[in-house]
């Protein structure tokens, strides 16, 4: 009887997904997929900024700078999760569109276990090489110990549950469970915000605030991971499960998994490299400049995270309909997401230009850091529209399974344009040149990405 009930639940879930992916009006379907994802991305943003906010309450720019140094390392966690979450998730959506649920099940279980062991390996490597890694990232005598404490908690202890949770959230989204995934991610963010002040200012002594922030973040990510495991076990989704009894994916599926996953991982990796270069160049000017840009890089992520949420909502719909040969619906989904992203970017630019000092003041009270950070924030926010257009085309090609095309756009953006531009503008214009590099680089990259997209459509769609 229990087996029959489970089969009925799986059948109902499959019918619901078919309606969402195939029949629901495009704007409604995109909203159903994107709105929970956008909300969860905003909670993730608040979650990520919570540490910076509470650390900033110490008014110690060295402690703020120490936390900022760990962002590139954390982005590697995102890269590992993208191999499994994006490579596996988009493949699952395409296999669903092609009506191959058995293959999709094998990809799902493989993706989850890949993230578990990938997270453990990364944690071990970070722990072993932490000292040279932090030195390479630009830790000074004043910031090294703070960076070490934060890295130990968030990466060495927390990498495995963090990466696994990210992967499971992505897989849930790609099988149509965007609302459930969004709730779990949001829950983790709220827990982090609650735990931060408790560990930083109540349980640990003064001077250990950054350790408290790291402990709170790790606990929140671990709880999120456990919740995802329980959620998948209780959903009875016909695709998602943990068992490897059905076997590993076949060679073509593995090729597609890594063909999209590795380029998807390269995005955060090169984004990470860009942050490393920016941090090191900014640190050469002063620790105050490093603290200012560290706050700016988090504050500016509001429209970026909304745009990412739109893209993550678009990807399963585009991937499914591409494999189902419903190209008009796929194109309509992409256009709706692109239009929404542009409108949100315009509104964000206006708000940030008006309230840059107030936003900086939320995170730190040091007048020098506020003044310099406000200038940096106003300049970098001008790139918002072009930045969104740069990465939506990458997500589009990932959805279609064209890993090489997405990799080409990612490499062109970071290695060929953005990173070289940092060195050029720093040489001629100093720290303000570094602030302007994002706008100049992404304007060029957005135009190039649009041209590549147009050429692909003329030849293939």
Burial (CB < 10 A; 0-12, 13-18, 19+), residue 331, is: middle
Tell me how far the alpha carbon of residue 373 is from its chain's centroid: 23
Contact 349, 384 (CB under 8 A): yes
> From its phi and psi, is residue 59 left (phi > 0), alpha (psi between -120 and 50) or beta?
left
State residue 1's pLDDT score. Answer: 43
Site of tokens 């003064």? 206
Contact 395, 314 (CB under 8 A): yes
Contact 212, 200 (CB under 8 A): yes
Enclosing domain of residue 281 = 2-460
Task: Give the global pTM.
Answer: 0.81
In three-state form (DSSP H/G/I as H, E/B as E, the rest C), the secondary structure along 131-191 is: HHHHHHCCCCCCCHHHHHHHHHHHHHHCHHHHHHHHHHHHHHHHCCCHHHHHHHHHHHHHH
3-state DSSP call for residue 365?
A: coil
pLDDT in tens, the chain (461 residues): 446 655 665 666 667 777 888 888 999 999 988 888 888 777 777 766 666 677 777 777 778 777 777 777 887 888 888 889 888 999 999 999 888 888 889 999 999 999 999 999 999 999 899 888 888 887 777 778 888 888 898 899 999 999 999 999 989 988 888 888 888 888 888 898 899 889 988 888 887 888 888 899 899 999 999 999 999 888 878 888 888 787 888 888 888 888 888 888 887 778 778 877 888 898 888 878 888 888 888 788 888 888 988 998 899 999 999 998 999 999 999 999 999 999 999 999 999 999 989 888 887 778 888 888 899 999 999 999 999 998 899 999 999 988 888 888 988 888 889 899 999 999 999 999 999 999 999 999 999 999 999 999 888 76
- Picking from 262, 251, 87, 89, the residue whose alpha carbon sits closest to that of residue 178 is 89
Total tally of structural domains belonging to the chain: 1
């Amino acid at each position: 009887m229990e087996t029959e009930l489970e089969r009925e639940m799986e059948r109902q879930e499959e019918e619901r997904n078919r309606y969402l992916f195939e029949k629901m009006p495009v704007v409604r379907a995109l909203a159903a997929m994107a709105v929970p994802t956008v909300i969860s991305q905003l909670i993730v943003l608040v979650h990520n900024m919570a540490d910076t906010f509470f650390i900033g309450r110490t008014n110690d720019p060295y402690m703020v700078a120490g936390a900022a140094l760990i962002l590139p390392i954390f982005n590697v966690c995102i890269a590992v999760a993208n191999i499994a979450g994006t490579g596996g998730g988009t493949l699952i959506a395409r296999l669903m569109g092609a009506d191959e649920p058995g293959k999709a099940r094998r990809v799902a279980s493989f993706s989850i276990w890949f993230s578990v062991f990938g997270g453990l390996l990364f944690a071990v490597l970070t722990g072993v090489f932490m000292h040279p890694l932090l030195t390479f990232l630009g830790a000074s005598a004043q910031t090294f110990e703070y960076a070490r404490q934060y890295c130990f908690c968030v990466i060495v202890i927390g990498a495995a549950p963090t990466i696994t949770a990210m992967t499971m959230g992505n897989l849930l989204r790609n099988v149509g469970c965007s609302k459930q995934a969004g709730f779990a991610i949001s829950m983790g963010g709220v827990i982090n915000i609650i735990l931060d002040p408790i560990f930083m200012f109540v349980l640990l002594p003064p001077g250990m605030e950054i350790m408290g922030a790291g402990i709170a973040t790790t606990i929140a990510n671990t709880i999120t991971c456990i919740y995802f495991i329980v959620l998948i076990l209780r959903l009875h989704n016909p695709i998602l499960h943990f068992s490897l009894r059905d076997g590993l994916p076949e060679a073509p599926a593995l090729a597609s998994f890594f063909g999209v996953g590795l380029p998807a991982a390269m995005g955060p990796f090169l984004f990470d490299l860009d942050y490393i270069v920016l941090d090191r160049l900014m640190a050469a000017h002063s620790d105050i400049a490093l603290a200012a840009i560290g706050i700016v890089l988090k504050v500016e992520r509001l429209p970026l995270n909304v745009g990412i949420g739109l893209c993550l909502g678009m990807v399963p719909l585009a991937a499914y309909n591409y494999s189902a040969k419903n190209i008009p619906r796929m194109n309509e989904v992409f256009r709706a997401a692109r239009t929404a992203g542009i409108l949100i970017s315009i509104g964000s630019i206006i708000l940030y230009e008006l309230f840059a000092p107030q936003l900086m003041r939320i995170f730190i009270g040091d007048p020098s850091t506020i003044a310099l950070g406000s200038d940096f924030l106003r300049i970098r926010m001008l790139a918002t529209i072009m930045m969104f257009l740069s990465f939506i085309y990458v997500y589009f090609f990932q959805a279609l399974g064209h890993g090489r095309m997405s990799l080409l756009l990612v490499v062109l953006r970071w290695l060929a344009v953005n990173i070289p531009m940092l060195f050029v503008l720093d040489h001629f214009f100093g720290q303000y040149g570094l602030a302007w590099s994002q706008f100049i680089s992404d304007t060029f990259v957005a135009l190039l990405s649009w041209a590549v997209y147009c050429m692909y459509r003329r030849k293939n769609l």
